[in-house]
Every structure is written in C-alpha cells, then in structure tokens.
C-alpha cells in the first residue's frame, strides 16, 4: 500500500483555487473516508468513484480489505461540488499501484458517472486561468468543457470522454503485445495518446439584429438618449405610457454596443461558467439580462448558501434591463445604490463577504402611474391619487440621482406608424457612431492604465483632470445647477454626459450646446416625489 498525490482545483466565488488531493491506502477492514471540509457532493464521491473504477475494468475499492483515506488540502477551505471525482479516481489507482502517472504540472477536474463517463463541470475557464498562473502545463477535463478552457493560451487542454480515456493517455505502463498481457499479475492498460484540444478560429459574426432602431417609429429623443448612454456607459430610464416602444428600444440597445475586448470576454465568460449558464463557447457580445419585476432580492444581488452571483453580476459589461422599474420591490431597488455608484456589489452573509463585479448599463422603464394612463391624452386614469404617489415614491432620491439620463417616450401619432424607416437612425449607423466615441474615450484615458474606460466610470478626481471646462461653460453649468437645485452627484453626471455628447460629435472640448443638451436629461421634480 502506498500514498499518492494529484492536483485539482475548484472555484471559490468568482476565482479558482488549486486543491491538492492525497490518498493513503492501508490494510484493514474496508473504509473509504474523505477529509478536508467537503460538502455533501464531495462526500458522495466515494460511491461514484468506486463504481466508475469498477466499470472501467478495475477492481472496486469496496471489494478490497483496505482503508482508503482521501485528503483535500488546504483543509480549512470549504470544498464544493463533484469535480474532484476524476482526480480521486486516478489518485486511488496510483496508490493501489494499478497505474503509474507523472502528475507534475498536470491538473485534473471532472465529475464521474457510475459507468466512468465524464460529465461537464462549472468554472472550467477560471480553473484553466488559475492552473496556468500556478505553472501547470496540462489540464484534463470533460470534453464538453475543452473549448471553454482552450481560450487560455499557454496551457495544453485535454478533453476526455471517460475515465479510461484519461488513464490510457497518462499511464506510463506500456502494453507490450495485447490487452491481456499482465505485469506482476496486474492488467496493463493500453497506452493511447489523446490529441490536445485545438481551439478553432471562428469567424465572429455580428449578432443578428432582431429589432432595429429604425423599426421603432418616432421617439427620436429616446433614441438619442440611448445613443448617448451606449457611447458613454450611462444609465438611462425611459418613462411614458404603455405601448410606446420602451421595451423594443431597450432590446435594440445591445446591438449598438461595441463587442467585448478579449479580456472582457474572459471575464464575462468566467462569470457565466461559474454560474452554470454558459452555453457553448465564449461570450463575445455584451450580455443582456432582463429580470422580472417579481425577482427576489437574492436572485438580483446574489448570495444564497454558497454566495453565488446574481442578475446584477451576470449583467457585468453588458445591460441590466429592468422593465416596470417601480414595480420591483423597494428593497431590491435600494440595493442598486452601491453597484450603480461603485460598479461592484458586496454581499455579506454569516459565512463571509463577497464582492462581485457589477459594471453594467442600467436601462429602466416606468409608466406614469400603475395603470399607465395618467396624463395621457385620450386615456382615462383609474388610479387613486395615493396609489400614484406610492408608485412614484418607490424611486427614492438617491436611486433617481444615480440614473444619468431621463427621457420621455410619449404616445406616437397613428399617422407616423406607417412612415418609412429613418435611415439616419438605423442600428448600424448608431453603432458606428458609438464605436468612434468609445475609441476617443479609450485614447483619452490610456494614461490611467485602464482599458475600455468610459466617461460614466470617471471619478470626480479624474473628471477634473480629463474634462476641462472654460469659464463661460462653467458659468452656464453653475447657474443652471443653482436654478435646478442639482445635487453634487448629478452635477458631475451632467459633465460626464456633456463629455459623451461632445465625443459623439468628435469635438475636443465641451461646448455650450453639449451642456444644454445634457441638462435636458436630468430627472425632473415631477417624476420622482
């Protein structure tokens, strides 16, 4: 009997951590123990592994008079999930001297079915990133996760279908003549080389435009507001009666956003991989999340027993669309304060505190009242006055202050519904203008050492450094701020919006018209009581 050691990994929050797996075999009555602070699924690995080993042509650990002790280290870190099945099985066969394996610079992850097949896991991308960072040169995982992991260059990825396929590749015992040859009374596994997974270079096709801005009739002011929001990364709310195109405009918005950079692709894909929502390959377009207004606090913010990311984090580097904004629970709305300001969300639970990234563009919509007809020409509002007041009070002053752009989406005259498409407001044209404005911002903020920095992300300190206003512009802004009683936060947001408007026009400096237009997007007093 002997001791063996192998390397695996798991995800903790949004990061990965290397886990050392050691197995000790000793004579005695059969026992199979896993130590190292594992959860229920880790403890159940002994049954999955025993069956997988038996059904792969070896003698089950349960059929031998031996004590099996599996240690997962570091011992003080909670181990979660079934992804340790594959390395435990290999380590057991090494300790039982059924195989000889060089485990140096190799990492193994994967869940085993009872027949030895490998099931896909969560978090393959961040695990591959961590493995490369720690100096590992090879990673073995389920075949379904190979494409995801292959996005990390500098580490060889092997995607396997089952346990035997992995063993045939890593075993250094070579078969001499046939499968039946035995060495020291033990079966020798046939050695077969697995081909490393080679990432296929795909031609990245632009996401199909299902809703074009030109398909929404009228609403030029709303389209302009959305263009500014996309160019500068600003949050926006559209208010108006039902059926005016607010939802259509929100869905069309993602098509004018620039594609993600490679670093952003890896970051967003890692989040979706850990969250178990990754379908297929990498996520190369900004994500679009649209939680229902009945969504719970935990589903939006994140948390739960295992501190998982919520909708706010799943919208990272993309769009969080909250339709019928005041219909969300007030507690849910108030949780937006931190992510809208700091672009992270902090979740505190008894088990610990987690900080999840939350750098998204918020698009919200709201009606003038619960029934949607308050102040609408030709429509009768059936709401009580106290219901209207309660509806508007759902948006507190601090939340309203954190939304940069407020635009009205009013009722469209029927005659305009059959008008020809406005070619100047087609999605492709808006997307090109947004792309140019983003390039201007990237060049301007290069000295910050931050890539893809938008105007909306500027701190007050950087705002003073990078956005210069001449005395005339300052006077106009200050006079307007006093007259409109703008808060300090909204004052700075007006400058950021004006900077984005100037970028869209290709102007080096902010002009009077830019400030005046930016002021029209402020929250009006009658919108939030």
Sign of CA dihedral 478, 481, 484, 485: negative
CATH 3.40.50.300 occupies which residues in the chain? 213-452
- Range 297-326 burial, b when 16+ CB lie within 10 A, else e: eebbbbbeeebbbbbbbbbbbbbbbbbbbb
CATH 3.30.230.10 occupies which residues in the chain? 3-187
CA 153 vs CA 42, 126, 137, 160, 263: distances in Å: 30, 13, 10, 19, 13
Preceding peptide of 74 cis, ω within 30°:
yes
CATH domain 3-187 topology: Ribosomal Protein S5; domain 2 (3.30.230)
CA 289 vs CA 260, 292, 309: distances in Å: 16, 10, 13
Q: Are 331 and 293 in contact (CB under 8 A)?
A: no
Instruction: Specify the pTM.
Output: 0.88
Q: Which of 197, 2, 196 lies closest to 99, judged by CA? A: 2
Per-residue pLDDT of the chain (529 residues; tens, 9 = 90+): 589 999 999 998 888 999 999 999 998 888 999 999 999 999 999 999 999 999 999 999 988 889 999 999 999 999 999 999 999 999 999 999 999 999 999 999 999 999 999 999 999 999 999 999 999 999 999 999 999 999 999 999 999 999 999 999 998 765 443 444 455 555 567 677 888 988 766 545 556 677 888 888 778 899 999 999 999 999 999 998 988 889 989 999 999 999 999 999 999 999 999 988 888 778 999 999 999 999 988 899 887 777 788 999 999 999 999 999 999 998 899 999 999 999 999 887 766 678 899 999 999 999 989 998 888 887 889 999 898 888 888 888 889 999 999 999 987 766 566 666 677 788 999 999 999 999 999 998 887 676 668 999 988 888 888 888 999 999 999 999 999 999 999 999 999 999 999 999 999 999 999 999 999 998 864 344 3
Coil, helix or strand for 208? coil
The Cα 529–Cα 510 span in angstroms is 32
Q: Which CATH class is domain 458-520?
A: mainly alpha
State the architecture of 213-452 in CATH terms. 3-Layer(aba) Sandwich (3.40)
Q: Are 453 and 485 in contact (CB under 8 A)?
A: no
CATH 1.10.8 occupies which residues in the chain? 458-520
């Amino acid at each position: 009997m002997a001791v063996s050691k192998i390397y695996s990994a798991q995800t903790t929050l949004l990061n990965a951590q290397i886990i050392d797996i050691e197995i000790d075999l000793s004579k005695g009555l059969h026992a199979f123990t896993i130590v190292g602070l594992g959860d229920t699924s880790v403890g159940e690995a002994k049954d999955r592994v025993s069956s997988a080993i038996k059904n792969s042509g070896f003698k089950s650990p349960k059929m031998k008079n031996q004590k099996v002790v599996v240690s997962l280290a570091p011992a003080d870190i909670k181990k979660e999930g079934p992804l340790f099945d594959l390395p435990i099985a290999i380590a057991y066969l090494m300790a039982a001297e059924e195989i000889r394996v060089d485990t140096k610079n190799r990492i193994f992850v994967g869940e085993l079915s009872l027949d030895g097949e490998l099931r896909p896991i969560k978090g393959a991308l961040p695990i591959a990133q961590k493995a490369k960072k720690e100096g590992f040169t090879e990673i073995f995982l389920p075949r379904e996760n190979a494409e995801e992991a292959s996005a990390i260059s500098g580490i060889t990825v092997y995607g396997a279908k089952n346990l035997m396929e992995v063993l045939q590749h890593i075993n250094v015992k070579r078969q001499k003549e046939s499968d039946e040859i035995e060495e020291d009374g033990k079966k020798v596994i046939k050695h077969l080389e697995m081909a490393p997974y080679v990432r296929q270079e795909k031609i990245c096709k632009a996401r199909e435009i299902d809703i074009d801005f030109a398909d929404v009739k009228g609403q030029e002011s709303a389209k302009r507001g959305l263009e500014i929001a996309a160019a500068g990364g600003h949050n926006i709310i559209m208010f108006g009666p039902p059926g005016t195109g607010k939802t259509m405009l929100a869905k069309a918005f993602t098509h004018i956003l620039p594609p993600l950079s490679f670093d952003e692709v890896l970051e967003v894909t890692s989040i979706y991989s850990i969250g178990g929502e990754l379908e297929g390959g990498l996520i190369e377009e900004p994500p679009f999340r649209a939680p229902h207004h009945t969504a719970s606090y935990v589903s939006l913010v994140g948390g739960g027993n295992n501190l998982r990311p919520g909708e706010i984090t799943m919208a990272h580097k993309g769009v969080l669309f909250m339709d019928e904004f005041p219909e969300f629970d007030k507690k849910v709305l108030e949780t937006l304060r931190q992510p809208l300001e700091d672009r992270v969300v902090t979740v505190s639970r008894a088990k610990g505190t987690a900080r999840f990234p939350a750098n998204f563009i918020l698009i919200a919509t709201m009606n003038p009242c619960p029934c949607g007809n308050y102040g609408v020409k030709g429509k009768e509002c059936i709401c009580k006055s106290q219901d209207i007041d309660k509806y508007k009070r759902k948006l507190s002053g601090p939340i309203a202050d954190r939304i940069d752009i407020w635009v009205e989406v009013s009722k469209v005259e029927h005659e305009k519904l059959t008008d020809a498409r406005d070619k100047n407001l087609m999605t492709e044209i808006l997307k090109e203008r947004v792309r140019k404005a983003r390039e201007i911002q990237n060049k301007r903020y290069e000295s910050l050492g931050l890539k893809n920095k938008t105007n909306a992300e500027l701190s007050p300190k950087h705002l003073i450094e990078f956005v210069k206003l001449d005395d005339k512009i300052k006077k106009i802004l200050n006079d307007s701020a006093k007259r409109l009683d703008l808060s300090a936060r909204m004052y700075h947001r007006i400058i950021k919006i004006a900077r984005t408007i100037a970028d869209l026009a290709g102007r080096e400096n902010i002009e009077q018209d830019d400030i005046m237009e930016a002021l029209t997007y402020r929250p009006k007093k009658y919108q939030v009581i």
